[in-house]
Amino acid sequence: MNDQLSLSPDAARQLATTTKTSPQMRGITPRYLLRALPWVDVEAGVFRVNRRRTYVLGDDRISTHSDGGSHQVIPGDLRELPYLRQVDDALLTELAGAFTEVRFEAGQMLAQDGDAHHQLWVIVQGRAEKRVSGRYGEDGVLEVIGDGQFFDLDAWTRAEPIPYRVRALTPGVALCVERGVLDGLRDRDATLRGAMDAYLAGDAALAGSEFPVDLATGHVGEPDLPGTFVDYEATPREYHMNLAQTVLRVHTRVSDLYNGPIDQVRAQATLTAQALRERQEASLLNHPEFGLFNNVAPGQRVQARTGSPTPDDLDELLTRVWKQPGFFLAHPRAIAAFGRECTRRGVPPVIDTRFGSPLLSWRGVPLLPSDKVRFSEGSGVGTTEILLMRVGEAEQGVVGLRPAKIEDEMEPGLSMRNMGMDQKGITSFLMTAYFNAAVLVEDAVAVLQNVEVNNYHDYS
C-alpha cells in the first residue's frame, strides 16, 4: 500500500533545472607577486638593463661538495677570492685540496679578535655570528654568516689579527686552510703573486662598487675643476621573454553538444590560463637564470640569526632595501612563524588591507604570502626564505616584463591560438604565456635565508 501523499523530491528533481557553478580549481592562489609587480610592455622581445659600470662581483659564496661523508671545496669557486680570479685551474685544485674539515658546536668560539689569523674559514653547514666590542666596551653583532660564506679574507691574506670574534650559533661543519699554503703557491706562481701584491697595496677595488665619478665640493676661488664621465657596462644584461606553454584539446562532440549554459571551450581555456599564471609566478621566483631568489646580490643576503624570523631579522632586511621598500614576499608558514615571534615579544604586526585581503605588515611594509616561495623540510626542520623588494622602473626596482602585443591575446602576455582540427575531431589550441622579471639595480632585492618555521612557544 502506497501511503505517499505528494510528489517525492527525487521525482520532482527530474523536471527541475540544476544551478551550476563554473569549474572550480584548488590550485588557484591570489598570486600577489603578479599583482604587485609593475609590468613593462616590451616591444622587441628583449629588455636590456643598462647600468653604470661596476667592478667584478661574484656571489660571495664558496661552494662545497660531499664525497664519502667528507666535505671538499669546489676548486672553481675559489675564484670568489679577488686575487684568484685569473689563476689557472691546477693551482685552484691544489689550494682546494689543502682545506681540512673542522666540526664545531653551538656557542664555540671559532676565532678571537686580536689573535693572529692564520686560517681562512669556509662555513659548510651551520651559522655563526661576527661580534665586536664597541668604543666603550659594549658588545655588538656585525653579521650572521651561514652556508658557503667565509671569513676573514683580508686578515688571512695579510697575516694580520682578525678584527672581530666569531661564535658558532649552531652545530656545524667548516673547512679551513692555513696561510702557509697560500704563501707557497704565491712563491711559485707569478700571476698569483702580482694579483696578491695589487690586493695588499689596496689597488683592488671593492667588488660590486661602481666606477667613481670625480667631483669637487667645498672649494673656494678658481681652482681647476676635475674632468669626468660616467662609464657604462660594456655588456649590459639582456632579458629575453620566457614562456609557459601547453596545447589545450577539446573534442568537437563536447563543444557541440554540451556547451550550455557554460561554454566548454571558454571554461577549459580559463582553467588552463590559471595554471599558466601559477607556473609564471613560480618561475619568476625560482627560475635558475632570472628567478628573483637567484638574482640577489651578495651584500643583500641576510642570515636568520636564531632560525625563526624575528622583527630584528626583518629590520635587517629593511636596512638592505631602505630606499622605498615595496613589500615582503614569504611562504605562508614563514609569515605565521613571524607572527608567533611578534606575539612572543608583545609587538603584534599591523594589519594592512591590500588587494582586498587583510595582510600582516612590518614597519608599514606588507608581507605578501605565496606558496611558490622555496620551502624545504630536510632533517625534519622546515626552512624557507623571505624576500624584500623595491618595485617600479622609476624607482630602479624590480619590474615584470611582458610583450607589448601578441596575436590572439586573451590576457596581457597570454595568447590562445587555434591550431585546427585533426581527423579525430579534436580541436587544439596553443596557449602561451610570455613573461620575465628584471632587477634594475642590485639593492632593489634582499633575502632572509635559512628561516625556520617549526618553532612554537608556550604562552601560558
pLDDT digits 0-9 by tens, 261-310: 899 999 999 999 999 999 999 999 999 999 999 999 888 999 998 889 99
Residue 433 belongs to some domain of the structure: no
Work out the angle at residue 408's Cα, subtended by the Cα atoms of residues 402 and 412, and round it to the nearest 5 degrees: 30
pLDDT given at position 141:
85
The reply to whether 263 and 390 lie within a common domain is yes
Q: Are 409 and 418 a contacting pair, CB within 8 Å?
A: no
**Boundary of a domain, candidates 200, 221, 251:** 200
Residue 171: is the preceding peptide bond cis (ω within 30°)?
A: no
Q: Is 387 helix (H, G, I), strand (E, B) or coil?
A: strand
Q: How far apart are CA 372 and CA 286, in angstroms?
A: 8
Q: Are 448 and 309 a contacting pair, CB within 8 Å?
A: yes
State the amino acid at position 445 in one-letter form: V
| pLDDT over threshold 80, residue 2 | no
Helices assigned H by DSSP within 287-389:
311-320, 332-345
The set of cell numbers assigned to 386 is: 623571505
**What number is the average pLDDT over the span 78-83?**
85
Burial 60-88 (b: 16+ CB within 10 A, else e): bbbebeeeeeebbbebebbbbbbbbeebe
**What number is the average pLDDT over the span 423-440?**
96
Q: At what angle do helices 190-200 and 179-188 cross, to 10 degrees?
A: 120
pLDDT given at position 58:
57
Residue 8 belongs to some domain of the structure: no
The reply to whether 45 and 69 lie within a common domain is no
pLDDT given at position 57:
52
Q: How far apart are CA 349 and CA 295, in angstroms?
A: 29
Half-sphere exposure (Cβ direction) of 23: Cα atoms closer than 13 Å: 15
Q: How many domains does the chain have?
A: 2
DSSP assignment letter at 460: -
Q: How far apart are CA 268 and CA 248, in angstroms?
A: 8
Q: How far apart are CA 295 and CA 310, in angstroms?
A: 24
pLDDT given at position 217:
87
Nearest to 49 by CA among 333, 316, 347, 396: 396
Residue 407 belongs to some domain of the structure: no
**Boundary of a domain, candidates 152, 180, 200:** 200
Q: At what angle do helices 179-188 and 89-97 cross, to 10 degrees?
A: 160
Residue 314 belongs to some domain of the structure: yes
The reply to whether 104 and 190 lie within a common domain is yes
Nearest to 125 by CA among 146, 99, 154, 155: 146
State the amino acid at position 2 in one-letter form: N
The reply to whether 153 and 282 lie within a common domain is no
Q: How far apart are CA 256 and CA 276, in angstroms?
A: 26
Nearest to 446 by CA among 292, 289, 263: 292
The reply to whether 248 and 195 lie within a common domain is no
CATH no. for residue 187? Answer: 2.60.120.10
Nearest to 366 by CA among 343, 389, 342: 389
**pLDDT tens digits, 312-352:** 999 999 999 999 999 999 999 999 999 999 999 999 999 99
The reply to whether 81 and 168 lie within a common domain is yes
Q: How far apart are CA 350 and CA 365, in angstroms?
A: 10
- Structure confidence at residue 117 as a pLDDT band (50, 70, 90): low
Q: Which residue range forms the structural domain that includes residue 376?
A: 32-49+240-401+439-452
Residue 211 belongs to some domain of the structure: no
| pLDDT over threshold 80, residue 43 | yes
Whole-prediction pTM value? 0.83
Burial 146-162 (b: 16+ CB within 10 A, else e): bbbbbbbbebbbeeeeb
**pLDDT tens digits, 218-237:** 888 888 888 888 888 888 99
The reply to whether 264 and 390 lie within a common domain is yes
- Structure confidence at residue 429 as a pLDDT band (50, 70, 90): very high
Q: How far apart are CA 306 and CA 230, in angstroms?
A: 43
Residue 424 belongs to some domain of the structure: no
The reply to whether 45 and 81 lie within a common domain is no
pLDDT given at position 209:
64
**pLDDT tens digits, 197-218:** 888 887 555 545 676 788 888 8
**Boundary of a domain, candidates 172, 200, 228:** 200
Q: At what angle do helices 311-320 and 332-345 cross, to 10 degrees?
A: 120
Residue 11 belongs to some domain of the structure: no
pLDDT given at position 55:
61
| pLDDT over threshold 90, residue 179 | no
The reply to whether 322 and 359 lie within a common domain is yes
In the predicted model, what is the mean pLDDT of the chain?
A: 89
- Structure confidence at residue 52 as a pLDDT band (50, 70, 90): confident
Tell me what percent of the residues of the chain surpass a pLDDT of 90: 54
**What number is the average pLDDT over the span 434-452?**
94
The reply to whether 279 and 158 lie within a common domain is no
The reply to whether 117 and 172 lie within a common domain is yes
The reply to whether 118 and 187 lie within a common domain is yes
DSSP assignment letter at 140: E
**pLDDT tens digits, 3-35:** 888 988 899 999 988 888 999 999 999 999 999
Helices assigned H by DSSP within 23-168:
32-36, 89-97, 153-158
pLDDT given at position 77:
85
Helices assigned H by DSSP within 45-189:
89-97, 153-158, 179-188
Residue 208 belongs to some domain of the structure: no
Q: Which residues contact 55 (CB under 8 A, 6 or more apart)?
A: 205, 206, 207, 208, 209, 210, 211
